[in-house]
A and B are shown apart, each in its own frame.
Chain A
């Protein structure tokens, strides 16, 4: 039980990865603050013994997070581990995207990461340490050719991770990033007219099989554990080697 007495906040506790994260940490003894979790997941993690608080904050504004922290503090003494898992994807192109989608995508995917880091980092500093993990994607590096605002946001998080690891590292707060590749069921999002390999991604993963959300959750659990205490500002790519193929 690596996370007994630890409180973990998962910003987006729905979707494949969000749910796998919640179940993984609950199964290792953690209590959970879950963003936008559905009732089935809540039942599952409670069954595993976790104390759970479900929250629905607006992370894209400072005051939204200020309210959230008060809400959390009424139930738990602190947050030990922040897992930023926001991910909003909308198909567009550089030529046609509009101001509204620019604001929405970058706010939800990147600005929220900054704000969450800023507030929870401050709180962890007061509490003597913690861990921040950003669930990002291989699109910190590889273009999507279908969702440019998403990949721009991912690369923003990539630098946020590096800056945060310097700024908060002195306070025993480790910041790291997981760059997730294609997972089972990603056929819908992993498409592009310009980068054809995305349409047939299994073929380009050396093991010929997309990832499972549990494989991502396992890495997050390792990074959040004391075993990873010397890992700070790192990026771990979890894509089965997909990105290394270029033709």
Chain B
């Protein structure tokens, strides 16, 4: 596994779901992680406890911040600096969708999706940029296959994710002069509704010589796998994005910037 020992990361929207899986993998690779949530404090606090149990008492903090507000984004960065003194990795993940099509979308919903999904990513970049310049850090944008493939269930979500794709490319060119790399992951459907991410991953840093992927057996039932429409037989997991983030943030990915990596089990090719 790629080593992130001594690195400090912020993962937005990591109270649950994909962000939680990313935080967990960064911690497994040795990084300290600022977890973030905007609304659901009960779930987020449970996530913090799980991550601390998993990675040790000093591996994570939890900050409440709505990233669509620049001040709150800046505050989260300040808290991270206060705790660990630097930032090496920014994972922009906090996003939302409304699952409505054209006729049902209200104007307020449009604004909200753009303010969070695009504005939030921009705010976090601005809030972190001076720190990332010091560390020649890495920015990872979590997008979606719907930045390229229409989903026909939420056009505004797709628009916002496509917007992130050009944010990626603009940021790549603008920040390259500072040695900052920017890359993007496009996950497809991700299974997040199981009880506990950590429970399903009993491997700890002390035990492992590389990650034991047999835990997938516990997550997807036989029936689920045989009915899967995914060429690889299952939809994504939060840790799929997580391990890719570990690589993207690692020194081994030093020449990789502006890349869009589709992480979808092959689903968009069939």
Contacts and interface: CB of A to CB of B under 8 A. Distances in A.
Interface of A: 61-62, 93-95, 97, 99, 102, 106, 110-111, 114-115, 117-118, 121-122, 139-140, 142-145, 148, 151-160, 162-168, 194-195, 233
B217 to A, nearest CB: 36
Given A99-B70, A159-B150, A167-B101, A114 B159 contact: yes
6 contacts: A61-B107, A152-B164, A156-B159, A157-B159, A163-B150, A168-B102
Q: Which of B146, B147, B164, B169 has the most CB of A within 10 A?
A: B169
B170 interface: yes
A163 B107 contact: no
Contacts of B177: 194
Interface stretch (B118-126, B208-216, B225-233): B118-126
B163 interface: yes
Contacts of A148: 166-167, 170-171, 174
Contacts of A164: 102, 155
Interface in B143-187: 146-152, 155-156, 158-167, 169-175, 177
B124 to A, nearest CB: 11
Given A62-B107, A159-B147, A167-B155, A152 B118 contact: yes
A143 B173 contact: yes
B110 interface: yes
Interface string B57-98: 000000000000010000000000000000000000000000
Given A97-B122, A106-B114, A144 B102 contact: no
B160 A194 contact: no
Contact of A114 (B119, B156, B171): B156
A143 B155 contact: no
B105 interface: yes
A114 B166 contact: no
B169 A143 contact: yes
A152 B158 CA distance: 13
B158 A114 contact: no
B23 interface: no
A145 B147 contact: no
A62 B104 CA distance: 12
B166 A152 contact: yes
B252 interface: no
B33 interface: no
B207 to A, nearest CB: 42
Given A110-B163, A143-B172, A162-B150, A167 B110 contact: no
B129 interface: yes
Given A102-B119, A111-B110, A121 B102 contact: yes
B159 A160 contact: yes
B162 A155 contact: yes
B103 interface: yes
Contacts of B118: 102, 106, 152
B172 A163 contact: no
Given A94-B174, A95-B126, A121-B102, A152 B159 contact: no
A72 B53 CA distance: 64
A156 B159 CA distance: 4
Contacts of A114: 105, 110, 155-156, 159
A143 B165 CA distance: 10
Interface string B190-225: 000000000000000000000000000000000000
Given A93-B174, A156-B162, A159-B146, 16 more contacts: A94-B125, A95-B126, A102-B118, A106-B114, A111-B114, A114-B155, A118-B105, A155-B165, A156-B163, A159-B158, A159-B161, A162-B158, A163-B102, A164-B102, A167-B155, A194-B174
A233 B148 CA distance: 12
Q: Name which of B101, B147, B161, B167 has the most chain A CB atoms within 10 A of its CB.
A: B167
A167 B151 CA distance: 10
Contacts of A143: 166, 169-170, 172-173
Contacts of B159: 110, 114, 156-157, 159-160, 163
A164 B156 CA distance: 11
Contacts of A142: 169
Nearest to B119: A102
A155 B164 CA distance: 8
Contacts of A144: 170
B152 A94 contact: no
